[in-house]
Amino acid sequence: MLRRRMGRWSLVATLLAVVVVMLGAWTRLVDAGLGCPDWPGCYGFLTVPQSEAQVAVAEARFPDAPVDASKGWPEMIHRYAAGTLGLVVFGLAAFAVCHRREGLPLKLPLCLAGLIVLQAAFGMWTVTLKLWPQVVALHLLGGFTTLSLLALMSFRLLVPPARVRPEAVAGLSRLRPWLYGGMVLVVIQIALGAWTAANYAAVACTELPTCQGQWWPPMDFRHGFDITQHVGPNYLGGQLTAEGRVAIHVTHRLGALVVLAYWSLLLALVWRRSEPGPVRGAALLSGAALLSQIALGLANVALHLPLAIAVAHNALGAGLLLTIIHLLWRVHHCRHVEGQSTEQATLINREATV
């Protein structure tokens, strides 16, 4: 009972983390990352200043940052959602500590609580360091990490192991290293996406399949991937040269092609070596997320980064990672079903899924 209760709250936290990731993308895409020049409040208030008196006080406190409510509210809504997520995660950690003798996960909730504290620090540095790309990218990756660990905890608490025949277990176990390698590829691609967003390189190429009318346009990889950019300038809108941004964009495109080719082959192998049931369902879900994410990436370029599609692209990037973690969980936690037919194993799997 305690396990299921903690699992349900983990699932709530996972869904809330998805919302936080989407709100973070929305805030970034509407250029509201510096909508409030301080942290954790906004011009020293708990909400965006609205009355004439509040605006006067705010602009006296920050004379170089005029109040713009259209920029302040996206930032504060994101902070409210992130703060709520933090409270839920701390609650999960406290619950795990209080019931540590009941066999509940303990290390993972405590790790998540520490990660939330680190994410709060990154949120503060994002503002105080004026959208320094290194911090912005790490903040985004921290959000994806938080989401992934919450999903993993939900799977541990709520998802029963798949039961398959021994020969299927043996076939899938040989694919585990390739599945973990594929997850690393997806994480690298997400990191490239974070670097693309942090340096405002998403619109560096505005046509497909070429970039600026060329298959290999002028690019400055040294400048584009310079992680020693000094702290100080306001990075809103980016500080890189056009060639540097093109280098980032083209690298992200090439990474998408590598991920698509790798996972298309790997999912076909998983499908071939598995039986009807949860493992195949997880593979099918991963394939759908992969194709949808590629389609959204193409739409972003073709339609010149419309807000709704850009936010969906960020959200589905997280969704793709979650489906891969789910697939790995299913493959890694298969149980042998000795002496049963494929039809019997399939029936058991369906009952377990329900």
Whether the bond between 233 and the residue before it is cis, its omega within 30 degrees of 0, is no
Query: What length does the chain have?
Result: 354
Whether the pLDDT of residue 343 is over 50: the answer is: no
Whether the pLDDT of residue 297 is over 60: the answer is: yes
Whether the pLDDT of residue 339 is over 80: the answer is: no
Average of per-residue pLDDT across 183-200:
95
Whether the pLDDT of residue 31 is over 70: the answer is: yes
Q: Which residues contact 59 (CB under 8 A, 6 or more apart)?
A: 43, 65, 66, 67
Q: Of 52-56, 125-129, 201-205, 237-241, which gets the smallest average pLDDT?
A: 237-241
Q: Which residues contact 348 (CB under 8 A, 6 or more apart)?
A: 163, 337, 340
Which among 229, 36, 249, 251 has a CA at the least distance from the CA of 134? 229
Determine the pLDDT at residue 161: 76
Whether the pLDDT of residue 298 is over 80: the answer is: yes
Question: Residue 172 corresponds to which tokens in the numbers above?
Answer: 């899938």
Q: How far apart are CA 152 and CA 158, in angstroms?
A: 10
Whether the pLDDT of residue 206 is over 60: the answer is: yes
State percent of the chain over pLDDT 70: 94
Kindly list the distances between the CA atom of residue 90 and the CA atoms of 84, 189, 304, in Å, as whole numbers in the listed order: 10, 30, 40
Determine the pLDDT at residue 54: 95
The string of pLDDT tens digits covering residues 72-85 is 999 999 999 999 99
Question: Residue 206 corresponds to which tokens in the numbers above?
Answer: 């505005």
Q: Catalytic site residues?
A: 75
CA atoms 123, 127, 129, 131: torsion sign: positive
Which among 279, 112, 286 has a CA at the least distance from the CA of 186? 286
Whether the pLDDT of residue 102 is over 90: the answer is: no
pLDDT band at 56 (very low <50, low <70, confident <90, very high): very high
Q: Which residues contact 320 (CB under 8 A, 6 or more apart)?
A: 186, 286, 289, 290, 293
Determine the pLDDT at residue 352: 43
Contacts 24+ apart (CB under 8 A), 299-308: 300/202, 301/205, 301/206, 301/207, 301/208, 302/207, 302/208, 304/203, 304/206, 305/29, 305/202, 305/203, 307/26, 307/29, 307/30
Q: What angle do CA 317, 213, 191 make, to 5 degrees?
A: 25
Average of per-residue pLDDT across 79-104:
94
State percent of the chain over pLDDT 90: 77
Q: How many C-alpha atoms does 164 have within 13 Å on its Cβ side?
A: 23
pLDDT band at 227 (very low <50, low <70, confident <90, very high): confident
Q: Kindly state the DSSP code that residue 237 receives in the 8-state scheme.
A: T
Whether the pLDDT of residue 336 is over 80: the answer is: no
The string of pLDDT tens digits covering residues 243-258 is 999 999 999 999 999 9
Number of neighbouring beta carbons within 10 Å of residue 59:
15
Number of neighbouring beta carbons within 10 Å of residue 177:
9
Q: Kindly state the DSSP code that residue 164 receives in the 8-state scheme.
A: E
Average pLDDT, the chain: 90
Q: Which amino acid is at 112?
A: L
Question: Residue 26 corresponds to which tokens in the numbers above?
Answer: 């929305």
The string of pLDDT tens digits covering residues 126-182 is 999 999 999 999 999 999 999 999 999 999 999 877 676 777 778 888 999 999 999
Whether the pLDDT of residue 125 is over 50: the answer is: yes
Whether the pLDDT of residue 291 is over 80: the answer is: yes
Whether the pLDDT of residue 346 is over 50: the answer is: no
Determine the pLDDT at residue 233: 82
Q: Kindly state the DSSP code that residue 340 receives in the 8-state scheme.
A: -
Do residues 30 and 116 touch, judged by C-beta distance below 8 A?
Answer: no
Question: Residue 264 corresponds to which tokens in the numbers above?
Answer: 């298309």
Whether the pLDDT of residue 349 is over 60: the answer is: no
122/343: higher pLDDT: 122
Determine the pLDDT at residue 335: 63
Q: How far apart are CA 354 and CA 348, in angstroms?
A: 10
126/351: higher pLDDT: 126
Average of per-residue pLDDT across 46-56:
94
